[in-house]
Amino acid sequence: MTGTIRKVNAQKILDSRGNATIEVRVYTKDVVASACAPSGASVGRFEVRAFPEGGVDASIEMVNKISSKLKGLNVEEQNVVDSVIHEFDGTKQFEKLGGNAAIATSIAVAKAAALEKNVRLCEHIADGRLRLPFPLSNIIGGGVHTKGDSIDFQEFLVVPLGAKKFRDAAVANVMVHKEVARILTSQRPHYVFGRNDEGAWAAPLTIKEALEVLSNAAQKVEGELGIEVKIGVDAAASELWIENEKVYVYRKEKCKKSTSQQLDYVLSLIEEYDIFYFEDPFGEEDFEAFAKLNKNVSGRCLVTGDDLTVTNKERLKTALERGSVSSIIVKPNQVGTLTDVKETVTLALSNNVVPVASHRSGETCDSALAHIAVGLKCPIIKIGIMGSERMAKINELIRLEDEMGLRMAKPPFSDS
């Protein structure tokens, strides 16, 4: 029958950091579809496990085993496939199969269904009107994505919310990236600058220096293009938190902050630099501190959960009850199946929480994330702007814009 799964298998490939990851292939009579899983470096405690004990090889063995359970199912029935994946694993955290194998299988099935129907992946997973997301791009990087004496916060980002076309938005982010390099090299002519895991500039800066350089570059590009360019931060604060001492440790800046000092500090940065987007300002268990910040900046700055919510519906429910976030990161491999991703995004959207489809620091050239963002109506996609593995998603969105004539999503906090 059309769309019936004949077999599923997997292969060990390398990600953008050169680390092993998994690619899964799904075969029907007429099509073969494959999907690759990325990997994080700042991994949340509540994410599913990327690989089981035994790593990628053990995961591949498991995919060979799940093949007989998926054989005979139809690629159209994503829910059924995803529940078989859950049942087969039997653990909450995908400890047996590994979340990376689970998500790669789930997405490969969706890709096969799209191929069978001769439609694009975003059209297959969508219900309703398709819109293009605004690219939120990492321009200056620190934390665990950057080697050496790196900036204490992980990411300094921009999002060109004034762009009317995705292509213009992507170009704006590229221009900010280039302008930051120009400013840095003119300020420090004797340094050599390099790019980190996500293609962001690695630079010997303090947090405020990074924000200063980023703001200046964003303003310059804003003036040149006439497009509003907002700035954002991912503090990845779980990486700074020391549970025993109940403090955030800023290794580079040589200081420690209690939770209330962290709140004051984040608030002061939002005010001073007009920050539009703030991800993981507190540790992954602190729904309360998130809520205090969210209340203070509501309507002007997105307070985004990543390690806090881990694309998990139950954790999002807790965040909603407490008013902790106005936005959440959507990383498919944090949760393991496309059905889980959809449920989390639907819950977010129906509560006016902005879902931000997101890459991982270790990526592949798979462009499915672009389709997931479009198909599931995420108004923002967090994706770097340099490196082929990031460009694979950017260019896919440019293609979707050109070929399908899609329009941009509505920017958060706007009535347009």
d(CA 312, CA 157): 24
Count of residues for the chain?
A: 416
The distance of closest approach from Cβ of residue 233 to ligand 2PG in the complex, given in angstroms and rounded to an integer, is: 11
Q: Which residue's CB is nearer to ligand 2PG, number 5 or number 41?
A: 41
Q: Which residue's CB is nearer to ligand 2PG, number 47 or number 179?
A: 47
Q: Which stretch binds Mg ion (CB under 5 A): 233-241, 268-276, 308-316, 364-372?
A: 233-241
The distance of closest approach from Cβ of residue 371 to ligand 2PG in the complex, given in angstroms and rounded to an integer, is: 19
Secondary structure (DSSP) of 41-90:
SS--TTSPPSS-TTHHHHHHHHHHHHHHHHTT-BTT-HHHHHHHHHHHH-
d(CA 188, CA 273): 22
Q: Are strands 327-330 and 302-305 parallel, antiparallel or unpaired?
A: parallel
Choosing from 96, 230, 257, 331, the catalytic residue is 331
Of residues 277-306, those binding Mg ion (CB under 5 A)? 306
The distance of closest approach from Cβ of residue 356 to ligand 2PG in the complex, given in angstroms and rounded to an integer, is: 9
9-27 b/e (C-beta count within 10 Å ≥ 16 → b): ebeeeebbbeeebbbbbbb
Q: Which residue's CB is nearer to ligand 2PG, number 112 or number 174?
A: 174
Please identify the residue of the shown chain whose CB is closest to the bound Mg ion. 306
Q: What does 360 interact with, of ligand 2PG, Mg ion, none (CB < 5 to 8 A by kind)? A: ligand 2PG
The distance of closest approach from Cβ of residue 280 to Mg ion in the complex, given in angstroms and rounded to an integer, is: 5
Our CA dihedral for 284, 287, 291, 297, rounded to 10 degrees, sits at 10
Q: Nearest to residue 23, comparing CAs of 138, 128, 107, 126? A: 107
| Chain residues that interact with ligand 2PG, rule: CB under 6 A | 40-43, 154-155, 198, 234, 236, 306, 329, 358-361
x/- binding map, residues 9-38, to Mg ion, per CB under 5 A?
Answer: ------------------------------
Q: Which stretches does DSSP call E strand in 199-242?
A: 201-202, 230-234, 241-242
Choosing from 198, 239, 284, 363, the catalytic residue is 198
Q: Which residue's CB is nearer to Mg ion, number 180 or number 308?
A: 308
76 is catalytic: no
What percent of the residues of the chain are helix, what percent strand, and what percent coil, each to the nearest 5?
45, 20, 40
Q: Which residue's CB is nearer to ligand 2PG, number 38 or number 162?
A: 38
321 is catalytic: no
Exactly one of 15, 116, 198, 234 binds Mg ion (CB under 5 A); that residue is 234
Positions touching Mg ion (CB under 5 A) are: 234, 306
Question: Could you give the residue numbers annotated as active site?
Answer: 198, 331
